[in-house]
Amino acid sequence: MKFSSLTKRISGTGADAWLTHYEAVAARTRGEDVIVLSVGDPDIDTPAPVLERAIEQLRRGDTHYVAAAGRLELRQASARAHAARTGQAVGAENVVYLAGAQNALFVASLCLLGPGDEVVTFEPMYPTYPATLEVGGARMVCAPTDAGLRPDLAALAALVTSRTRAILWASPNNPSGFVFNEAELAVIGELARRHDLWLIADEVYAGLAPGGRVPGLAARLPEQVVTLGSLSKSHAMTGWRAGWLVGPRELAVNAELLAMCMLFGLPGFVQEAAITALGIAPEAEQRTREYCRMRQQRFTAGLRGIGGLRPIEPEAGMFMLIDVSATGLSGREFVRALYGSQKVSVMDGAAFGAATAHCVRVCFATDESGIDSACERIRRFCATGLSGTCAAAR
């Protein structure tokens, strides 16, 4: 039997990067002594008021159909949070609530991009971007980066063609943790004005940036910017699937129609909890920022002096890239050898693009004892196990 060509597009190029992660999670489930640093799921609890609100609504029977775009009160709360963060005046009519920012990007890609269109984005990028952007037949074009993994602005303009429909970026970036600055965004904004391009801003980690906000273009180009947001990272709510997109009213109408086809509304008790979460966002984000700051410092200190490793400290977020090229291994080889030798799971930098193939990504949003143990195992691997595992890794 035959499948549609869609099945080839949704596999993406970074799917294999998760194999070691899945292997480690399965081993942990079996009770084995593994350390999982390969996924961005902060090791802190969802805020108690959010949890209690969800439980309260469940007991009240809030388990029936809800509006496809999300409840009005939730969309109003999301609009207020977006306006406070970006300075863009929006209302509930500009917001569609979806099953996380990943789902929001999927919806945006189908509403904005079609067969033959091109979307420009920047390496390094989250591994699911390629499949998500190309699902409708569009083509992703990667802008080059400089030695510091920041966008090569001089090369950006040449990538815009008559087929270009959008530019996408994430700030803070996953995996590098860098934040797009005003000068970089000014170049992107000018290109968008000149060529009538959509701008898709993935701001899932914005609440973890200093002060809980990042430079943006939403207030300056309100009819061209689509902003993706989520409670997953800022409120330790990864499993709740609570995200949204904010954009022009016409886009929101189309996104709602697509949501009716895909989701037909999301759980009401989760939406009520999300309203509570948005109401305590400043405190929740500050808690997570401080948690990540302390864990980053601890992890960086734990890696100090390990031969062959060069940590690339992030500006924000819960991830760190480590350049492993001096070990003689690629990122993929390092990942497999480290896990095989020490049962520490990290991500291959190549999953985020060719620019970081010489790196691995670690998530430091875990408990302090886990960080200390991981650093000890990595130090042991680089000191004694590296030479013996190079051949096997290759």
Backbone φ and ψ for 90, nearest 5 degrees, come out as: -135, 165
Name 3's Cβ contacts closer than 8 Å, sequence gap at least 6. none
Shared domain for 309 and 366, answered yes or no, is yes
Task: Confirm whether 296 is domain-assigned.
Answer: yes
- For residue range 101-160, what is the model confidence (pLDDT) as tens digits? 999 999 999 999 999 999 999 999 998 899 999 999 999 999 988 888 898 888 899 999
* Torsion angle of the four alpha carbons 6, 7, 11, 12, in this order, in degrees rounded to the nearest 10: -20
CB 87 within 8 A of CB 213: no
Shared domain for 311 and 352, answered yes or no, is yes
Last residue of a domain, one of 246, 280, 314: 280
Shared domain for 80 and 223, answered yes or no, is yes
Last residue of a domain, one of 247, 280, 313: 280
Shared domain for 162 and 64, answered yes or no, is yes
What is the CA 195 to chain-centroid distance, rounded?
Answer: 27
Q: Both tokens of residue 327?
A: 């070990």
Q: How far apart are CA 45 and CA 239, in angstroms?
A: 11
Shared domain for 198 and 304, answered yes or no, is no
Q: Both tokens of residue 276?
A: 């509570």
Shared domain for 374 and 259, answered yes or no, is no
User: Is 182 exposed, middle or buried, given 0-12, 13-18 or 19+ CB atoms closer than 10 A?
Assistant: exposed
Task: Confirm whether 383 is domain-assigned.
Answer: yes
Shared domain for 115 and 253, answered yes or no, is yes
Task: Confirm whether 1 is domain-assigned.
Answer: no
Token look-up 């992703």 returns 140
Shared domain for 348 and 296, answered yes or no, is yes
Task: Confirm whether 297 is domain-assigned.
Answer: yes
Shared domain for 134 and 245, answered yes or no, is yes
Q: How far apart are CA 362 and CA 320, in angstroms?
A: 5
The enclosing domain of 153 has a CATH number of 3.40.640.10
Q: Both tokens of residue 237?
A: 């709510």
Token look-up 């060529």 returns 195
Closest CA to 71 of 272, 370, 260: 272
Task: Confirm whether 156 is domain-assigned.
Answer: yes
- For residue range 205-226, what is the model confidence (pLDDT) as tens digits? 999 999 999 999 999 999 999 9
Question: For each of the chain's 394 residues, which pLDDT tens digit applies?
Answer: 988 887 777 765 555 677 888 888 898 999 999 999 998 888 899 999 999 999 999 999 999 999 999 999 999 999 999 999 999 999 999 999 999 999 999 999 999 999 999 999 999 999 889 999 999 999 999 998 888 889 888 889 999 999 999 999 999 999 999 999 999 999 999 999 999 999 999 999 999 999 999 999 999 999 999 999 999 999 999 999 999 999 999 999 999 999 999 999 999 999 999 999 999 999 999 999 999 999 999 999 999 999 999 999 999 999 999 999 999 999 999 999 999 999 999 999 999 999 999 999 999 999 999 999 999 999 999 998 665 554 444 4
User: Is 38 exposed, middle or buried, given 0-12, 13-18 or 19+ CB atoms closer than 10 A?
Assistant: buried
Structural domains in the chain (count): 2
Q: Can you state the percent helix, strand and coil of the chain, rounding each to 5?
A: 50, 15, 35
CB 230 within 8 A of CB 203: no
E strands, the chain, in order: 35-36, 95-98, 118-122, 139-143, 164-170, 198-202, 225-230, 243-246, 310-312, 319-323, 344-345, 347-348, 359-363
Q: How far apart are CA 69 and CA 258, in angstroms?
A: 10
For the chain, counts of helices (H) and of strands (E): 14, 13
Last residue of a domain, one of 220, 251, 280: 280
Question: Which residues, listed in sequence order, are joined to residue 276 by a DSSP beta bridge?
Answer: none
Q: How far apart are CA 329 and CA 104, in angstroms?
A: 36
Shared domain for 228 and 85, answered yes or no, is yes
Query: Residue 323 sits in which domain range?
Result: 6-45+283-393
Closest CA to 384 of 324, 337, 330: 337
- Predicted pLDDT of residue 11: 66
Task: Confirm whether 324 is domain-assigned.
Answer: yes
CB 165 within 8 A of CB 197: yes
Task: Confirm whether 36 is domain-assigned.
Answer: yes
Task: Confirm whether 388 is domain-assigned.
Answer: yes
Shared domain for 235 and 373, answered yes or no, is no
The enclosing domain of 310 has a CATH number of 3.90.1150.10
Shared domain for 187 and 227, answered yes or no, is yes
